[in-house]
C-alpha cells in the first residue's frame, strides 16, 4: 500500500521558495525608506501649514506680521518652539542639520491663540527627538520681510525641506 503525502525534501523546497519570494518582496518594498518618506511628507505639510498660517494672519492684520515674527532680527535663524528653558540657551545647530549657529527661539503660539493653527506643528522624530520646546522647524526673516521656514532634518531626500513666502 502506497502512502499519500509530501516528503520532507518536498516540504523543504516549498519553504525555501516561499522564503526567497518573501525576501525579494521585502527588499522591493523597503519599509525603512517608506517610513522616512512618510516623515518627510509630514515635514513638508507642517512647514506649508506654518507658512500659510503666518501669511493668512498677515493678510487679516492688513500687513504686519505676528509680533514674534515682526520683532525677529532679519537674517537670524530662529528655532520654532515655546521658548522654554533650553530652547533659547543652545545654538540652533545643536538641534538642526542646517547651517545656523545662533542661539535663538521663536514662539508662534500667537497663531494658535488667534485660531490660525490648531497647534504649532512638531516634526516627526527621525534623527532628532522633537517637542513643543524644540519643534524641529526653523524660521528666518530677511531684510524685506520674506520668511523661510525649514525643517531641521530630512531623511528620505537630499533636498532641504523648506518653504519661502
Task: Give the residue ranges of DSSP H helices in 4-150.
Answer: 8-29, 31-60, 67-70, 109-113
Taking 70 as the threshold, does the pLDDT of residue 57 lie above it? Answer: yes
Span 2-17, pLDDT tens digits? 777 888 999 999 999 9
pTM score of the predicted model: 0.80
Taking 50 as the threshold, does the pLDDT of residue 52 lie above it? Answer: yes
Taking the C-alpha atoms of residue 127 and residue 42, their distance in angstroms, rounded to an integer, is 15
Span 117-144, pLDDT tens digits? 999 999 998 877 888 888 889 999 999 9
Taking 80 as the threshold, does the pLDDT of residue 97 lie above it? Answer: no
Span 29-47, pLDDT tens digits? 888 888 999 999 999 999 9
> Scanning the structure block, which residue is given the C-alpha cell 520683532?
71
Phi, psi angle pair for 136, to nearest 5°: 90, 10
Which neighbouring-strand residues pair with 77? 140
Taking 60 as the threshold, does the pLDDT of residue 65 lie above it? Answer: yes
* Secondary structure of residue 4 in the 3-state scheme: coil
Question: What cell was used for 120?
Answer: 504649532
DSSP label at residue 72: S
Q: Does residue 108 contact residue 66 with C-beta atoms inside 8 Å?
A: yes
Specify burial of residue 36 (Cβ count, 10 A radius: 0-12, 13-18, 19+): middle
Mean pLDDT of 102-116: 88
Residue % of the chain over a pLDDT of 90: 50
Span 77-91, pLDDT tens digits? 888 888 765 555 455
The domain locations on the chain are: 8-164
Structure confidence at residue 91 (pLDDT):
59
Structure confidence at residue 90 (pLDDT):
57
User: Which residues, 6+ apart, have CB-to-CB distance to 7 below 8 Å?
Assistant: none
Amino acid at each position: 500500500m502506497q502512502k499519500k503525502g509530501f516528503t520532507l525534501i518536498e516540504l523543504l523546497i516549498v519553504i525555501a521558495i516561499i522564503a526567497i519570494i518573501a525576501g525579494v518582496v521585502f527588499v522591493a518594498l523597503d519599509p525603512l525608506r517608506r517610513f522616512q518618506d512618510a516623515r518627510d511628507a509630514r515635514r513638508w505639510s507642517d512647514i506649508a501649514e506654518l507658512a500659510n498660517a503666518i501669511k493668512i494672519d498677515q493678510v487679516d492684520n492688513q500687513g504686519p506680521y505676528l509680533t514674534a515674527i515682526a520683532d525677529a532680527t532679519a537674517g537670524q535663524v530662529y528655532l520654532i518652539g515655546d521658548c522654554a528653558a533650553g530652547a533659547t540657551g543652545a545654538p540652533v545647530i545643536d538641534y538642526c542639520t542646517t547651517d545656523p549657529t545662533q542661539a535663538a527661539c521663536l514662539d508662534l503660539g500667537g497663531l494658535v491663540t488667534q485660531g490660525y493653527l490648531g497647534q504649532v506643528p512638531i516634526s516627526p522624530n527621525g534623527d532628532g527627538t522633537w517637542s513643543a520646546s524644540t519643534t524641529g522647524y526653523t524660521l528666518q526673516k530677511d531684510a524685506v520681510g520674506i520668511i523661510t521656514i525649514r525643517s531641521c532634518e530630512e531623511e528620505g531626500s537630499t533636498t532641504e525641506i523648506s518653504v519661502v513666502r
